[in-house]
């Protein structure tokens, strides 16, 4: 089975906490590692005067595999159009929030095996970044020219399609 849709993991799901009488049992174990390999790519030493960002239009949770998918797509387009030294790409959020799933048994006799929603705390299946309204998710830094700005917007538009919720592209120029 594929991943569950984002609506299954609403913003108001409580943070992953477990308090036990024995303090050692309170530690969270078995959290899958983050799939994001690089948070900063491109030319990290140069200075740029324009930043183009994907900005969230509401409070959402973005899974780590969606962030990595968007980062790969954006980076590939920017490298092919601008060249490796003419931009810097930065993933601005970190997936701290642990997503849990109460796995249900299916098939004949499953009702006798399981206890339904009793003790339905769930097992960790992944992580997500909690993104607030008007928060930048991914930012590309470039030196302003019409061609570079068009290519950066095109790359971010492709990356925006890989992220949940409604997003917009924002451009800021530094002097």
The pLDDT of residue 69 is above 90: yes
Residue 11, sorted as left (phi over 0), alpha (psi -120 to 50) or beta, turns out to be alpha
C-alpha to C-alpha distances, 68 to 84, 88, 135, nearest whole angstrom: 19, 16, 18
Domains of the chain and any CATH numbers: 48-99+123-175 (3.90.1170.10)
pLDDT in tens, 73-83: 999 999 999 99
Mean pLDDT of 161-174: 93
Can you give the pLDDT at residue 8?
Answer: 72
Tell me the three state secondary structure of residue 110: helix
The predicted model scores a pTM of 0.84
The pLDDT of residue 68 is above 90: yes
Can you give the pLDDT at residue 1?
Answer: 66
């Amino acid at each position: 089975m594929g991943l569950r849709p984002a609506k299954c993991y609403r913003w108001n799901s409580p943070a992953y906490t477990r308090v036990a009488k024995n303090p050692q049992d309170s530690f969270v174990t078995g959290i899958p590692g983050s799939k994001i390999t690089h948070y900063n790519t491109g030319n990290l030493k140069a200075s740029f005067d324009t930043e183009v960002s994907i900005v969230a239009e509401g409070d959402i949770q973005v899974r780590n595999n969606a962030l990595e998918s968007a980062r790969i797509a954006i980076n590939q387009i920017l490298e092919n159009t601008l060249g490796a030294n003419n931009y810097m790409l930065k993933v601005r959020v970190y997936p701290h929030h642990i997503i849990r799933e109460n796995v249900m048994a299916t098939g004949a006799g499953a009702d006798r095996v399981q206890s339904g929603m009793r003790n339905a705390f769930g097992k960790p299946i992944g992580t997500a970044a909690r993104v607030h309204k008007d928060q930048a998710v991914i930012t590309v830094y470039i030196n302003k020219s019409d061609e570079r700005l068009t290519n950066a917007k095109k790359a971010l538009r492709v990356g925006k399609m890989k992220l949940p919720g409604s997003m917009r592209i924002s451009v800021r120029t530094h002097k």
